[in-house]
Structure 1
Amino acid sequence: MKDRKQQRSFLKELPLLIGIALILALLIKTFLVQAFSIPSDSMQNTLQRGDRVLVDKLTPWFGAEPERGEVVVFHDPGGWLDESAQSDPGGIAGAFQEFMSFIGLMPSAEEQDLIKRVIAVGGDTVACEKNGPVTVNGKALDEESYIYPGGTPCGSEGFGPVEVPEGRIWVMGDNRQNSLDSRFHQQLPGHGTVPVDEVVGRAIVRAWPIDRWGTLPVPDTFAEKGLAMAPAAMGLVGAVPLVLWRRRLRTGRTAVEAAPTAPTAPTGDRRTRADED
C-alpha cells in the first residue's frame, strides 16, 4: 500500500520535475552554454564537419568582447549565407530537432549561425599580400599551428589593408582555401567585418565526438608583443602635436597676462638681489 502511494506521488511530481528540468536547460542555453554543430569544412583541421562545440554565452553578458584568436559563433550579418542552400528536415524529426535545440539539449538547428576565428578587432588594420602571411597592425601572424595543412594564410589572392571599425571584427576560417569569410564579403555593408552584437559567444570546447574532445585555446601568435602596437603608436603620434600646441598656447597666454601686472617701481627704489644680500 505504501509503495503504491509513493508511486502515485512520484507520478504526480514527474511533470513538475520535467518542467523544472526544461526551464533549467533553457536558462543554461540562453545565458551560459549552448551546443553547436559544425556544418562545413571551413574550420578544418581545428573543427571537422559534424563536430559539436560548446559555446560560452555568459561572458558577453558581462561586457566581454571577442578577442583576436578566439573561435566564435555569430549570426549571419546579412548576405553571408545562401538561403537556398539551407536545409529543413521537416516533419516530426524537424520539429523535435527544433524543440531540443531551442532548450539547448541538442546542437543548434539555426541555419543562420557561422563559426570562424577572430583575426582582428576594432581599431586594427589587417592585410595579406598574395601568398604571404596575414598581418595585423603590420605584424605577421604565425598561423602554422591552426590553418589547414598545405594551405596558405590568405589563399591565392591577397587582401587589404582593411581598417576594422570599432565594434566590429574581421574573421577567417582555418581552412583558408575553403572558407567564405570576411575576405569574400567586402562588397557588403561593413566591408566584410562582423558587428560584435551579432556574436553569440566563444567556442571553448570541442565536445563531440569523444575521441576529438579538447579545448579551443587562443594560439600563441595572438599573444605576441607588438600585435596591438600600431593603434597605440598612431595615437601617440597624433597626441604629440596636440601637446606641443597646447604648451605653446599656454606659454603665450602666460606671457601676455604677465606683462600688464609687472611691478613698475621708481628708479631710486630698485634694488638688485646682490644689494639685498
Structure 2
Amino acid sequence: MVAGGGLAPRMLYRAATYSASAMEPTYSRGDLLLFRKGPAEVRRGDVVLVTMGPMDGGEDPGGPVVERAVAVGGDTIAYTPGASRLTLGGQPLEEPYVKDGEPTVGSPGPFSVTVPQGHVFLLGDNRGNSADSRYRLRTTPGGTVPVGQVLGVALSEKETVRTGFLFGSLIIVGLLALLASAVTGALWLVARRRRPPAVQGPVWGATAMEPAGPPHP
C-alpha cells in the first residue's frame, strides 16, 4: 500500500510513501517513491503503482499497490511446483531483485499464463508476502492486469535524482523571479514617493484677480 504525497508536480509525477512489505528488499516501509504518471507502456521489469482489484477469494487490497511487471503482452510466464525459478518463454527467469533469492516461495500452485496484449503479470519482490497476480488467476485473465489500471511507473534512483534536481532548479528560478519582482515594485514605490510635486500655474477664472485697467482721467 502507498500513501500519496504532494512533493512533485501533479501533472507529470506522483510521489508516495511506501507502507507495505511486498517489495522488500527493493523498497522498505517509509521509502519515498516517485512515479511517472500515465505511462504509454509498461516494460518488463518496471515497478508500478497499480489498482489490482479483488483476489480470487474476493478480498480487495483496498487501494493502489506497488508490484513489479515480470511479464507483458505476449509473454508466457510459468511456475512448476518444485522448480527453483519461474520461466519466461520456457527459459528460467533471472530475478536478482527477489528477496532471499527465492522467486517461487509463496506460490499457491502451478500456473502457466500467456499475457494478453495490453496487460501485465505482476509479482512482488518479497514473494513470500505479496498478494500479486498469482492470487488472481481466476479473477482476471491469468491474474493479469490491464495497463490502463497502472497509475504510474517508478523512477529509477538516477531518474529520481535527475528529476529532483530539475524541480529544485525550477523552484529556485521561480523564487528568484518573485524576489526580483518584489524588489522592482519596492524601488518603484520609493521613486514615486521621492518625486517632487508638480508645480501648477495661475488659475484664471471667477476667483482670479483681474488685471488693472488704465487710470481714470
TM bucket normalised to smaller: 0.5 to 0.7
Paired position in structure 2 for 1:126? 77
Paired position in structure 2 for 1:75? 51
TM-score, normalised by the number of residues in structure 2:
0.62
Separation in 2 of the partners of 1:204 and 1:196? Answer: 17
| 8 Å contact from structure 2 (residues 33, 154) kept in 1 | yes
Distance 1:27 1:42, change over 3 A: closer
Separation in 2 of the partners of 1:45 and 1:35? Answer: 20
Q: How big is the shift at 1:189? A: 2.5
Could you tell me which of 43, 65, 75 is aligned with 2:41?
Answer: 65
Could you tell me which of 21, 33, 48 is aligned with 2:13?
Answer: 33
AA partner of residue 142 (structure 1): E
1:137 aligns with 2:86: no
Matches within 5 A, 1:44-63: 44-57=24-37, 60=39
Identity of aligned residues (%): 36
Distance 1:214 1:137, change over 3 A: farther
Separation in 1 of the partners of 2:32 and 2:65? Answer: 13
| 8 Å contact from structure 1 (residues 173, 181) kept in 2 | yes
Separation in 2 of the partners of 1:152 and 1:200? Answer: 28
Unaligned runs of 5+ in 2: 1-5, 163-217
Distance 1:127 1:186, change over 3 A: same
Larger radius of gyration: 2
3-state SS of 1:191 partner: helix
| 8 Å contact from structure 1 (residues 72, 203) kept in 2 | yes
Separation in 2 of the partners of 1:139 and 1:214? Answer: 35
Unaligned runs of 5+ in 1: 1-24, 86-110, 208-212, 216-277
| 8 Å contact from structure 1 (residues 54, 206) kept in 2 | no
3-state SS of 2:121 partner: strand
| 8 Å contact from structure 1 (residues 159, 183) kept in 2 | no
Q: Which protein is richer in helix relative to its size?
A: 1
Separation in 2 of the partners of 1:214 and 1:178? Answer: 29
Matches within 5 A, 1:239-258: none
Q: How big is the shift at 1:132? A: 2.2
Distance 1:146 1:214, change over 3 A: farther
Q: How big is the shift at 1:159? A: 2.6
Q: How big is the shift at 1:53? A: 0.2
Separation in 1 of the partners of 2:33 and 2:63? Answer: 16
AA partner of residue 184 (structure 1): Y
TM-score, normalised by the number of residues in structure 1:
0.49
* Structural RMSD (CA): 2.8
Separation in 1 of the partners of 2:125 and 2:149? Answer: 20
Separation in 1 of the partners of 2:7 and 2:24? Answer: 30
Distance 1:162 1:154, change over 3 A: same
Structure 1 segments of 4+ aligned residues over 3 angstroms from their partners: 80-83
Separation in 1 of the partners of 2:73 and 2:161? Answer: 29
1:148 aligns with 2:124: no
| 8 Å contact from structure 2 (residues 71, 121) kept in 1 | yes
| 8 Å contact from structure 1 (residues 55, 205) kept in 2 | no
Q: How big is the shift at 1:139? A: 1.7
| 8 Å contact from structure 1 (residues 117, 173) kept in 2 | yes
Q: How big is the shift at 1:205? A: 4.4
